Structure 1
């Protein structure tokens, strides 16, 4: 579904992503973990095209999209959930959700589907987004991304600052989305239990490079902790 091949990128003259490569299958979830400042978010931005690729390539469903603009990648099925609370605070929940649509086709079915994943939002459709709690706003951001029917969903620190009950709800929803509509996901995350609970594999990122990669098993948390202590 998504292939990243020897990708390098950076800011100014500083390379922050160096020769990163991995493949993501349909309906697979990949956790990218590591300390802060190691280049994880920059990797997502390079995949999306917000940072230019200095070397390497990005392929989506077999097509080379390395130089494709971010808004066009979104139309091709590559959708981003940023770390920031990127909502239109004065618009209603309904209008924020509508902004996630690629077109009005099947709008009612999409509202019903996303509402099934986030029933709390269906009770607040007319409410201004800025009046929601922090956890509800994060759910709205994820729900808006899902309105685009993504083939690949990139989530950046989606649990940051959230109470455990909201983290649990997001975990349940993302597992359902994967199984029900086959969305592939890349999860950049500091909350290790959350990341490991929803993912098939992990990559440990350090100073812009992959230093460890494996399928998730009972020993994964301990191995990742070793990297985090170094």
Structure 2
């Protein structure tokens, strides 16, 4: 589904990710784990086209999308749920979802199938996005992404600022989507338990480079986590 080869990017003349290579198979959930400032969000922004690649190649679903504009990547099925959610606060929940469908050139009838997967949103369709709780906004951001019928979703820190009960709900949603639709996900996250419960594989990123891969169950062992990346289990 996704093949990244020797990818590099950054901000103006400051390199952030350097020589990153990895693959994600169809239907896989792949976690990317590392300290803050190691290039996790930069990697996702480069994959989705918000930042230009300065070297390397991005292959998606058999096509070279390295220099394709963001909207073309979205139309091919590569969608992004950014850190901080970035919903439209002044629009209703329904209109936020409609924006997700419109961005993929789809009609509003896709909303019903997404709402069946995320029924929590049904009673609040007329509510403005900006008045929702952080957890509701995160579910809305995911739902808006799903309204584009993605083949792959890039998720950036989805548990940030979210209460534990909503984190559990998001885990259930993502596992259900994997079973029913075979959705492919690349997940950047600091919450190691969240990654452990969802990911098929976990890539370690340090100073802008993929330095290794660990089985998800290793994240339950603080000694193993410290050995690979020196992070405290959260």
* Fold equivalence (TM over 0.5): yes
What are the equivalent positions in structure 2 for 1:93-172 lying under 5 Å apart?
93-101=93-101, 102-105=104-107, 107-108=108-109, 110-172=110-172
Q: Contact conserved, 2:205 with 2:212, CA < 8 A, in 1?
A: yes
C-alpha change, 1:104 and 1:8, in structure 2 (3 Å) is closer
- The TM-score normalised by the length of structure 2 is 0.92
Partner deviation per Cα, 1:122-152 (whole Å, 9 max, x = no partner): 1111111112111111110111001111111
**Residue equivalent to 1:227:** 228
Rounded Cα–Cα distance in structure 2 between residues aligned with 1:176 and 1:225: 31
Alignment gaps of 5+ in structure 1: none
Q: Per-residue deviation at 1:195?
A: 1.0
SS of the residue corresponding to residue 86 of structure 1 reads coil
Q: Per-residue deviation at 1:58?
A: 0.3
Partner deviation per Cα, 1:74-128 (whole Å, 9 max, x = no partner): 01100000002311112111011010002344x33x3232212221101111111
C-alpha change, 1:61 and 1:144, in structure 2 (3 Å) is same
- The TM-score normalised by the length of structure 1 is 0.94
RMSD of aligned residue pairs (Cα, Å): 1.4
Partner deviation per Cα, 1:143-169 (whole Å, 9 max, x = no partner): 100111111100000110100010011
Alignment gaps of 5+ in structure 2: none
Q: How many residues align?
A: 227
Q: Per-residue deviation at 1:215?
A: 3.5
Name the stretch that deviates more: 110-119 or 158-167. Answer: 110-119
Q: Per-residue deviation at 1:174?
A: 0.9
Q: Contact conserved, 1:38 with 1:206, CA < 8 A, in 2?
A: yes
Rounded Cα–Cα distance in structure 2 between residues aligned with 1:87 and 1:169: 19
Q: Contact conserved, 1:204 with 1:224, CA < 8 A, in 2?
A: no
Rounded Cα–Cα distance in structure 1 between residues aligned with 2:212 and 2:84: 28
SS of the residue corresponding to residue 100 of structure 2 reads coil
Q: Per-residue deviation at 1:227?
A: 3.3
Q: Contact conserved, 1:27 with 1:179, CA < 8 A, in 2?
A: no
Q: Per-residue deviation at 1:171?
A: 0.6
**Residue equivalent to 1:200:** 200
Rounded Cα–Cα distance in structure 2 between residues aligned with 1:17 and 1:104: 34
Q: Contact conserved, 2:204 with 2:214, CA < 8 A, in 1?
A: no
Partner deviation per Cα, 1:191-225 (whole Å, 9 max, x = no partner): 11011111100001100011121343x33443334
SS of the residue corresponding to residue 99 of structure 1 reads helix
Q: Contact conserved, 1:6 with 1:55, CA < 8 A, in 2?
A: yes
